[in-house]
Amino acid sequence: MKLLVVDNAHIYKTKEGKYYSTSIYDNSFFKRYLNVFDSVRFCAKVKLVDEVDLKKHKPLDIEGLEIWEIPWYKGMKGLLKKFPQAIKSMKKSYESVDVSLYRVIQVESILSYICRNKKIKYAVEVVNDPQTYFKGLYKIISNHYMKKMVYRANGASYITDYVLQKIYPNKSHKEKESTKYFNATYQTLDLKESIMKEPKIYDKNSVSEFRLIHVANNIESDNKGHSTVIKTVKYLNDMGYNVSCNFVGDGSKVEFFKKMARKLKIDDKINFVGRINWKNELIDYMNSHSLFIFPTRFEGLGRVNLEAMAAGLPCLASSVGGVVELFEKKYLFAPKDYRGFGDEIVRLINNFAELSQMSKRNIEFVKKFLNENQEPIRTNFYRKLRKLVEETDQL
């Protein structure tokens, strides 16, 4: 049985015809589907490159995986230029496919849904909220399709326990769950206990130089709160606290934020370290810091929040989306509230015991997201989808 998976993904292809990824879409990501389905066709934007850096690019060569190419583009302007070719490719992607799964909500998932073969059963993995993710007309359009896609899906999985379920219910929430309509809650983090850290112990020496860390792989806008973090660092240093921040990630906006730091005269306190693509290396690096700060303007749940917790870090974040399920209210702030973040950091710097307790609590809390706990739930969800298709084919 062949499964079509659609998401917003940028894949690189060498002249030898080999595929690589710099994001979450590695072999282990697709293994979860291939444990249940015979093969997976992944609909993704593909760019031809002369060579790849194997320290950054992960090979996509797991048996049973087929990359279905759509034109490479970035942003809505780029999509408009490639729109006819993208639609044509998406329509053809349903050929020889038995069932489809949309990771929502992305532009690609909406377009693929519109182009879909309506005879094919489908499921959705709800990983974000367009009400916080998009703006203007596209926010209205995406929210409309999100509600329709999720409600009508045969299966709907969520990364939250209750936040996204309440906004985007499936028919299985409105009616009794059945073999035709069902739902589940699981993460796609693929977290292993072997890479988790021990709780951190804070004392006077450990906070004399307070090192913040922020992670966002694609720095293409201010949606993940980079400017708020920079202003927070400025605010704290102006009060006499020795606070710095390392930003993990890369993108076209890096120079903009570096310029902002220089203008505020704190460029010696702000550092952009580039991407760290391997989870174990990222968690190791995060662990060397004092606190994770994430003033994101939108988020489903935020895998980076979970990675920070696994690294044993106390966390401050914005009160958006499913993030409210992860942390106590006193550790959540409006995305632009740099004073709120700053004042809380001052309070914590002067409360070693609370920082140590936050670290311990986060380590324990994140264990429920370990792959060994999540995989059985994911697998059961995919099996229900496969069984539905098999039973339908027998009618």
| Backbone region of residue 219 per phi and psi (left: phi > 0; alpha: psi in -120 to 50; beta: other values) | beta
Q: What mean pLDDT do residues 51-65 have? A: 91
Residues 236 and 117 in one domain: no
CA atoms within a 13 Å half-sphere pointing along the CA-CB vector of 60: 29
d(CA 288, CA 213): 9
Chain segment 364-390, per-residue pLDDT in tens:
999 999 999 999 999 999 999 999 999
Q: How far is CA 311 from CA 285, 308, 374, in A?
A: 8, 5, 19
N-terminal to C-terminal alpha carbon distance within the chain = 17
Q: CA–CA distance from 356 to each of 41, 324, 395 (Å)? A: 45, 21, 59
Does 45 share its domain with 68?
A: yes
| Phi and psi angles of residue 49, each rounded to the nearest 5 degrees, phi first | -130, 155
**Averaged pLDDT for residues 6-35:** 93
Domain shared by 236 and 342, yes or no: yes
Residue 28 tokens, joined:
């282990």
Pairwise CA distance, residues 9 & 22, whole Å: 10
Residue with tokens 């279905």: 68
pTM: 0.88
Domain count, the chain: 2
Same domain, residue pair 147 and 130: yes
| CA 122 from centre of chain | 22
Report the pLDDT value the prediction gives residue 133, as an integer from 0 to 100: 63
Which helix (H) or strand (E) segment holds residue 69: the answer is strand 65-71
Of 17-26, 76-85, 201-210, 263-272, the range with the highest mean pLDDT is 263-272
Report the alpha-carbon distance of residue 47 to residue 287 in Å, rounded: 34
Place of tokens 């379920």: 165
For residues 291 and 268, state if they share a domain.
yes
pLDDT (tens digit per residue) in 278-293 = 889 999 999 999 999 9
The predicted pLDDT at position 394 comes to 66
The packing angle between helices 371-394 and 27-34, to 10°, is 50
- pLDDT digits over 132-184, tens only? 766 676 677 777 889 999 999 999 999 999 999 999 999 999 888 999 999 99
Q: What is the DSSP string of 138-150?
A: HHHHHHHHHHHHH
Amino acid present at 294? F
What tokens does 287 get? 């662990």
C-beta of residue 355 within 8 angstroms of C-beta of residue 202: yes
Other CB atoms closer than 10 Å to residue 166's CB: what's the count? 10
DSSP annotation string for 210-273: EEEEEEEEE-SSSTT-HHHHHHHHHHHHHTT--EEEEEEEE-TTHHHHHHHHHHTT-GGGEEEE
Q: Give the contacts of 158 (CB within 8 A, at least 6 positions apart).
A: 126, 164, 165, 183, 184, 185
Is 42 within 8 Å of 65 (Cβ atoms)? Answer: yes
Same domain for 116 and 159?
yes
Phi first, then psi, for residue 43 (nearest 5°) are: -85, 115
- 342/376 same-domain check: no
Q: Are residues 291 and 143 in the same domain?
A: no
CATH of the domain at 293: 3.40.50.2000
Two tokens at 22? 């710099």
| Exposure letters 296-333 (e unless 16+ CB within 10 A, then b) | bbbbbbbbbbbbbbbbbbbbbbbebbbbbebbeeebbb
Q: How many Å apart are CA 289 and CA 281, to the nearest integer?
A: 14
Collapsing DSSP to helix, strand or coil, 278 comes out as coil
Give the domain extent around 110.
2-191+370-394
289, two tokens: 């810091």
Give the three-class secondary structure for 321.
helix
Tell me, yes or no, whether 331 and 379 share the same domain: no
Residues 30 and 174 grouped into a single domain: yes
In angstroms, the CA 373 to CA 375 distance is 6
What was the pLDDT predicted at 338?
Answer: 97
* Residue 266 shares a structural domain with residue 343: yes
23 and 65 in a single domain? The answer is: yes
What confidence category does residue 76 fall into, taking pLDDT thresholds of 50, 70 and 90?
confident
Which pLDDT score, from 0 to 100, does residue 291 have? Answer: 98
